[in-house]
Amino acid sequence: MIQWLNDPGNWTASGGILDQLWSHLQYALFALVVATALALPVGLLIGHAGRGRWLVTVANAVRALPVVGLLILLYVMLAPHIHGRGDTVYLLPTEIVLILLAIPPILASTVAGVENVDPAVRDAAAGMGMRGGQVVRRVELPNALPLVFSGVRSATLQVIATATVAAYLGLGGLGRFVYDGQASQNFAERDAGALLVAMLAVAADLVLALAQRYTVSRGVSGRFSRRTLVGDPVATADAPPSTHTA
Amino acid sequence: MRFTRPAYIHQRAARADEVADSSMVSARVSGRKGKGGGLVIRFESVSKKYPDGTLAVDRLELVAPSGEITVLVGPSGCGKTTSLRMINRMIEPTSGRIWLDDRDTATVPTHELRRGIGYVIQHAGLFPHRTVLDNITTVPELLGRDKKETRRRALELMERVGLPAHFAKRYPAQLSGGQQQRVGVARALAADPPVMLMDEPFSAVDPVVRAQLQNEFLRLQGELGKTIVFVTHDIDEAIKLGDRVAVLQVGGHLAQLAPPAELLSDPSDAFVAGFVGRDRGYRALGFAEAGRLPVRKEHAVRLGGGLGEARDAAEDGWVLVTDAEDRPQGWLRTDRLPEAALPGPVTAQELNLGGTLAPETATLREALDSALSSPSGRGVIVDGAGRLLGTVTASEVLTRIEQQRVADGRPPARDAGLDAETDVGRDDGEGGEVV
């Protein structure tokens, strides 16, 4: 397997590792962007209004469906309605499966994130004259962000792992090596493919962790520089902040 | 024993209206209320009935006069918070109207109404993701005010509520409860609203910080003159802070609306009497100035002076010790001093710090407390700079209380016959009086 990975030809050839890595990333990214664009606003609305929680339950139930079974079912259902246009007939069912997989974690964690915002904070926001949308954008979303990120990250891991099945329908992606290696009994190629998927997933998670670090307010994540905490003169006679011990 | 007097309540309500009207007129004509001024808040037969049938507020008639603190107080479930939240329409009344001056709140869009009303709640409700400064500038930002000016004003407000400027960049999680509440008050004041609603703002902090916040709040209100409606379940807080106190009864009835002193001296019915508490007679003394108390000269010794000299100066085994500037430091017990110690000096460690000090402008309550808390039985009176003026005894303060009752046309409260009174009465002429 190491040998297979060390062969520069396997990387740069047409249909080689770099090509498939790029395709894999595209499949996954597209699904994640669409899923986030759907689940995030809906999750914010459910959390804000405190209604429609059943949608989260339904979304979670979808997760129980077997991926490959669903893929074949969608292909069979959609294929007769799609004519020409290259890979569309394979891409559409694949992306639908990936999107369905990505929605539940993002939706559930967004709803939980908004619900976890201190009721006093929401009360103050409304009481100071923020409109509903302003409360969501300026208060609920920033405070729900750590949980939203945890949902997106868990969805990302799952989608990148599952995008392997694109190759099942004859598309590209790192799954190509897994399926081809298995079929041709080239186990080094198969295992290398699996390893590459795992590494891509970890790399994507690191990128998201970094993004989280820069978008979540320090006031929410609790990452305070030591300088502001240690040996700080508290000018008022109030009790010192409890975070001193942190 | 108190009896219910329904007719009396009506009388009071009518009187409350008069008070409100007159202050409203004077505020408008003379413009004497601070720069924010203040609107009059008027409840007109306001009721709130929840879908489950609970009547939270029942035809409430109430006026919160301009530039004053009106406290709503009552037990849990009396509808005080509901009443407060109906003013900024966080809760919509089922019937009735609430007016801000001549504006019916129901006719104003809610977000617009709320941006013009300061709102402070129990746990401050600061936005965790925003810094102290950003929290304070929330409402001016919503109103689209100039950023630079808003920032400048926010920093000024921080100073006013007792927060050092370097707190501006901090997050709420880095502050103590008391500090958070200061930010909460600054945030509510940022857009300079004429009206402030405060829902148990000080009840989540410890008693020492609470007392401090209350005092600073009163000082701030003295400068700003906002119309404030303040909700609390703590009758002591209500009496301390309120210009007028509205006692609400479970089910949302207004039981009495009166200035604190009147609430204590003349509760309108058994419910109010029970709610204001057993020691209301004593607490009412907190509203009566002691005036010219007969202060006796006290032979005090200096800290660092000789113990022997202290023993000779002592009266009834106790001598008052002051510092070099005549400020009382504590009491020294001399009748138990071992002979061997007498050549030594008076040190701070040996002092009893039990007594409270009363200023010469003391209320009767402060003066009496000073006497009662003093280990020697002699209450220490000090001047504005904290220097010793002399001492009073409890019976002397009681005499003053009796005299004031007589002056008020009420029968003296003596039954037990305080023999000391006659003596004190004589002393009154001779002893040095505080001028």
Q: Is B210 on the interface with A (CB under 8 A)?
A: no
Contact B126, B171 (CB under 8 A): no
Q: Does A18 touch chain B (CB under 8 A)?
A: no
∠A112-A115-A119 over CA atoms, to 5°? 155
Superfamily of domain A20-219: MetI-like (1.10.3720.10)
C-beta separation of B350 from B332 below 8 A? yes
| Partners of residue A243 in chain B, C-beta under 8 Å | 173-174
Please enumerate in sequence order all residues whose Cβ is within 8 A of that of B396, keeping only pairs 6 or more positions apart, or say none.
B293, B294, B371, B424, B427
Query: Is residue B342 domain-shared with residue B385, that is, in the same domain?
Result: yes
pLDDT, position B285: 83
CB contact under 8 A, B119 and A131: no
Q: Which residues lie below 8 Å from residue B316, measured CB to CB, with a gap of 6+? A: B376, B377
Q: Does one domain contain both B282 and B331?
A: no
Q: pLDDT truncated to tens, each residue of chain B (435 aa)?
A: 333 333 333 333 333 333 333 333 333 333 333 434 678 999 999 999 999 988 999 999 999 999 999 999 999 889 999 999 999 999 999 999 999 999 999 999 999 999 999 999 999 999 999 999 999 999 999 999 999 999 999 999 999 999 999 999 999 999 999 999 999 999 999 999 999 999 999 988 888 889 999 999 999 999 999 999 999 999 989 999 999 999 999 888 899 999 998 998 888 989 999 888 777 778 788 777 777 778 888 888 888 888 888 888 888 889 999 988 889 999 988 888 888 878 888 888 888 888 888 888 888 888 888 889 899 889 999 888 888 989 998 888 888 888 888 887 776 655 444 444 443 333 443 333 343
**b/e burial code for range B4-36 (CB count within 10 A of at least 16 → b):** eeeeebeebeeebeebbeebbeebeeeeebbeb
B301-302: strand order across its sheet: B301-302, B318-322, B328-333
pLDDT of residue B200: 94
pLDDT of residue A47: 95
Residue of B157, B168, B167 whose CA lies nearest to B193:
B157
According to DSSP, residue B228 is labeled E
Helix A17-49 to helix A187-215 angle (10° resolution) is 40
ipTM of the shown complex: 0.83
Contacts of A130 in chain B (CB under 8 A): 111, 142
Task: Write the DSSP assignment of B359-399 as a string of letters.
Answer: ETT-BHHHHHHHHHH-TTSEEEEE-TTS-EEEEEEHHHHHH
Q: What is the pLDDT of residue B1?
A: 35
* Same-domain check for residues B49 and B112: yes
Q: Please check whether residues B217 and B308 belong to one and the same domain.
A: no
Q: Work out the burial of residue B416: count CB atoms within 10 Å of its CB; fewer than 13 is exposed, 13-18 middle, 19 or more buried.
A: exposed
Per-residue model confidence (pLDDT) at position B2: 37
Question: Is B347 inside a domain boundary?
Answer: yes
Q: Cα angle at A20 between A18 and A21, to 5 degrees?
A: 60
How many Å from the N-terminal Cα to the C-terminal Cα in chain B? 39
φ, ψ (nearest 5 deg) of residue B289: -75, 140
**Chain A nearest CA to B196, separation (Å):** 11
> Beta partners for B197?
B119, B229
Closest Cα in chain A, distance from residue B70 (Å) = 20
Phi, psi of A211 (to 5 degrees): -60, -40
CB contact under 8 A, B138 and A128: yes
Cα B374 to Cα B330: distance, rounded to the nearest angstrom: 9
CA B42 from chain center: how many Å? Answer: 24
B15 CB-near residues (< 8 Å, 6+ apart): none
Query: Domain limits of chain A?
Result: 20-219
B163 touches chain A (CB under 8 A): yes
Amino acid identity at B193: P
Contact with chain B for residue A239, Cβ under 8 A:
yes
Residue B168 lies in a domain: no
> Is the distance from CB of B332 to CB of B351 less than 8 angstroms?
yes
Contact between chains at B124 and A228 (C-beta distance less than 8 A): no
- Are residues B37 and B103 located together in one domain of the fold? yes
Determine what percent of chain A falls in helix, strand and coil, rounding each to the nearest 5: 80, 0, 20
For residue A30, what pLDDT is reported? 97
Q: Which of B237, B265, B287 is the last residue of a domain?
A: B287
Which residues 250-309 of B have a C-beta within 8 angstroms of A? none
| CA–CA separation, B133 and A68 (whole Å) | 53
* AA letter at B16: A
Q: Considering just the CA atoms, what is the radius of gyration of chain A in Å? A: 23
Q: Which residue in the set B129, B179, B197 is minimally distant from A219, CB to CB?
A: B129
Chain A residues 103-122 with a CB less than 8 Å from chain B: 118, 120-121
Pairing of strands B41-49, B95-100: antiparallel
**B146 in a structural domain:** no
- Both tokens of B148, joined, read 């630079």
Shared domain for B48 and B104, answered yes or no, is yes
Q: Which domain holds residue B205?
A: 6-116+193-287
Residue B119 distance to chain A (closest CA, Å): 6
Taking an 8 Å cut-off on Cβ atoms, the answer to whether A217 and B114 are in contact is: no
Nearest residue of chain B to residue A123 (CA atoms) = B125
User: Would you call B173 and A243 a contact, using CB atoms and an 8 Å cutoff?
Assistant: yes
User: Do residues B218 and B317 share a domain?
Assistant: no
**Shared-domain flag, residues B268 and B329:** no
Alpha helices in B242-296 (DSSP H): 260-265, 270-276, 280-284
Residues B60 and B87 in one domain: yes
CB-CB neighbors (< 8 A) of A125 in chain B:
125, 127
Rounded Cα–Cα distance for residues A73 and A135 (Å): 42
CA distance B273 to B293: 30
Using the Cβ of B49 and the Cβ atoms of chain A, whether some distance falls under 8 Å is answered with no
Question: Which stretches of chain A score pLDDT less than 50?
Answer: 228-246
Query: Do B206 and B238 belong to one domain?
Result: yes
Question: Which of B287, B310, B342 is the C-terminal boundary of a domain?
Answer: B287
What is the total count of domains within chain B? Answer: 2
Cβ–Cβ gap B178/A129 under 8 Å = no
| pLDDT for B338 | 81
Q: Tell me: the pLDDT tens digits for A47-100?
A: 999 999 999 999 999 888 888 889 999 999 988 887 766 778 889 999 999 999
* Residues B264 and B286 sit within 8 Å (Cβ to Cβ): no
**Which chain A residue's Cα is nearest to B109?**
A129
* Cβ-proximal residues to A206 (8 Å cutoff; 6+ apart), any chain: none
In a domain, B58, yes or no: yes
**pLDDT at position B167:** 95
**Is B164 within 8 Å of A127 when comparing Cβ atoms?**
no
Q: Which chain A residues are within 8 Å of B116, Cβ to Cβ?
A: 129
Q: Among B253, B287, B321, which residue terminates a domain?
A: B287
B195-199: strand order across its sheet: B117-120, B195-199, B227-232, B69-73, B244-249, B253-258
Instruction: Mention every residue, 6+ apart, whose C-beta is less than 8 A from residue B137.
Output: B150, B151, B154, B190
Identify whether residues B82 and B214 lie together within a single domain. yes
How confident is the model at residue A226, as a pLDDT?
53
CA distance A230 to chain B (A): 11
Chain B residues near residue A242 by CB distance under 8 angstroms: 176
| B435 found inside a domain | no
**Of all helices (H) and strands (E), which one includes residue A49?**
helix A17-49
Do B107 and B247 belong to one domain?
yes
| Residue B394 in tokens | 């409890």
Size of interface A-B (CB pairs under 8 A): 118
Give contacts of B 102-161 with A, CB under 8 A: 110-116, 119, 121-131, 138-139, 142
List the structure tokens of B416: 């037990």
CA distance A46 to B268: 49
Any domain includes B152 = no
